[in-house]
Structure 1
């Protein structure tokens, strides 16, 4: 890692396909991350600060705004962190934790890289992490809208027949089917003035999804990656992103010397236009965001 002094930078996204009206939340998250970076100089702490801000916002599909599963009662969340100091942690299918990204950070200090489900929740309680906020009316309204659309013929997940959710239903409650999918993860990438890179991601999952579904967000190389050449966070439909190991694939192009903006565009071009996908990334000299859908984001650099 080079010791050459450079400007710190932050890029934050609120999810591919998320409302651009929410971009002010990304701006606030980036500002807080930059302030953290200036105060502490730790890229990972800054990335976590940004994602925590978005988890607490309530408008994004993470933390307080996480999407309800198809049963209308369960929320399962994923999160991840990684930096070039060797810290790596992820959590999958965790319930009732206010800030999953902080749990992912705590997992990085354990003998493991990832915890899931009940074990992750028990670990969160053992270290005193707060429980999730009560389900909001906005979350319930989004679920009602999803269920009405699930009964229709338009695929809610591109390439997937809606009837498959009926066929493979695995919740305790029966399926009740009386163009929206919640795939808008949140994420942040940070470059420290010391040359270190970090990434943090969090998501409330995908809607629709079977119970226990894990997307790209906690899978290293798919939803996130950080190395000596930069940091990358992906957002969109995880089942498609995972197949391309998107974050690591784009990182490889950057490693080979392809300009960042070109590498991001090339990554997005791997997907059909109907598949929502977005990327944010930064290198030693560049910082960019690219998506095939509207994607709220903010990019800031230290003066």
Structure 2
């Protein structure tokens, strides 16, 4: 007997609700895979690809530019209950990092980073172009103008600290703080298997080589026999909590899904952006402490 399929897609905690249509398109694409009898992993990868190709979201073509004004470092991950797990970190020139994470799941390894991940993308013959569209450039120009006009005291202090620890080969350029969110999807297929996929374009300002929660199992993502969970928000706060696995364990222990998500969000300080999406054997839900565009395909 087949199980009812389910999917939840998010566009990042703190992202604009004006972009919810992008999540709806991604969720619909995932549901099309599931309703055609496809696996949950294929569904979540497809959903995340849609969001990576939509430059309104901080992933793939919408990734943020580092404070040197040139570098883009992206992370992505996939996991399912059929034993497949793959992640990449600090990838610079891959259009769809989630596809690269999916390819890593076919290797003996779990996580590839930096130059090795980049070379693996070339071996895997993945598309390497990373276009920055006109609309994306316009939004960044507006952010830059606002930041130069009236930077907040907190942003000024953060940038001063960053300059003391500067590890880029080139000098910094003035830029607005942006990023820190991810895109992600969780799904349950007709055979009752779960999967999760996530992708992020990073955060700026940040040191070269910064890795957030997105490619770290148990922190930004987790899938097990009782469900799948994806977290989004401030990675530095999510990582020490192993937030996705913590929420998953509550689900496995029988805590109602909505309650588990609310408890997970409450673990982080109020000034930290955080959102969680999850599917269990019977439910599919989301919760966040900031605006977070989401969709289940309806």
TM over 0.5: yes
Alpha carbons of structure 1 residues 87 and 246: separation in structure 2 relative to 1, 3 Å: same
Over residues 48-72 of structure 1, what are the superposed CA-to-partner deviations in whole Å (9 max), with x where a residue is unaligned? 0000000011110001111111111
Counterpart CA distance in 1 for 2:190 and 2:64 is 36
SS at match of 2:79: strand
Counterpart CA distance in 1 for 2:64 and 2:201 is 5
Over residues 44-93 of structure 1, what are the superposed CA-to-partner deviations in whole Å (9 max), with x where a residue is unaligned? 00000000000011110001111111111111100000000000000000
Q: What is aligned with 1:267?
A: 264
Asked whether the equivalents of residues 190 and 198 of structure 1 are also in contact (C-alpha less than 8 Å), the reply is: yes
SS at match of 2:158: coil
Alpha carbons of structure 1 residues 74 and 178: separation in structure 2 relative to 1, 3 Å: closer
Return the offset for 1:243: 1.4
1:107 to 83, 99, 104: 104
Counterpart CA distance in 2 for 1:8 and 1:155 is 44
Asked whether the equivalents of residues 147 and 177 of structure 1 are also in contact (C-alpha less than 8 Å), the reply is: no
Q: What is aligned with 1:174?
A: 171
Asked whether the equivalents of residues 75 and 204 of structure 1 are also in contact (C-alpha less than 8 Å), the reply is: yes
Q: Is 1:152 matched up with 2:151?
A: yes
Alpha carbons of structure 1 residues 156 and 189: separation in structure 2 relative to 1, 3 Å: farther
Counterpart CA distance in 2 for 1:154 and 1:193 is 51
Q: What is aligned with 2:243?
A: 246
**Unaligned 5+ residue runs, structure 2?**
none
Q: What is aligned with 1:210?
A: 207
SS at match of 1:120: helix
SS at match of 1:216: coil
Over residues 250-294 of structure 1, what are the superposed CA-to-partner deviations in whole Å (9 max), with x where a residue is unaligned? 111111111000000000001122110000001000110100000
Return the offset for 1:184: 2.0
Counterpart CA distance in 1 for 2:146 and 2:181 is 20
Counterpart CA distance in 2 for 1:172 and 1:83 is 38
Over residues 109-165 of structure 1, what are the superposed CA-to-partner deviations in whole Å (9 max), with x where a residue is unaligned? 1111111111111111112110133223444455553586388343349xx833211
Asked whether the equivalents of residues 83 and 196 of structure 1 are also in contact (C-alpha less than 8 Å), the reply is: yes
Q: What is aligned with 2:295?
A: 298
Counterpart CA distance in 2 for 1:149 and 1:238 is 23
Asked whether the equivalents of residues 55 and 136 of structure 2 are also in contact (C-alpha less than 8 Å), the reply is: no
* Correspondence 1:216-255 to 2 at 5 A: 216-255=213-252
Alpha carbons of structure 1 residues 102 and 74: separation in structure 2 relative to 1, 3 Å: same
SS at match of 2:179: coil
1:69 to 52, 66, 69: 66
- TM-score, normalised on structure 2? 0.94
Q: What is the CA RMSD across the aligned residues, in angstroms?
A: 1.9
SS at match of 1:254: helix
Return the offset for 1:175: 2.5
Asked whether the equivalents of residues 80 and 193 of structure 2 are also in contact (C-alpha less than 8 Å), the reply is: yes
Counterpart CA distance in 2 for 1:140 and 1:171 is 22
Return the offset for 1:5: 2.4
SS at match of 1:155: helix
Return the offset for 1:180: 4.4
Asked whether the equivalents of residues 67 and 174 of structure 2 are also in contact (C-alpha less than 8 Å), the reply is: no
Q: What is aligned with 2:93?
A: 96
Moved more, 137-146 or 181-190: 137-146
- TM-score, normalised on structure 1? 0.92
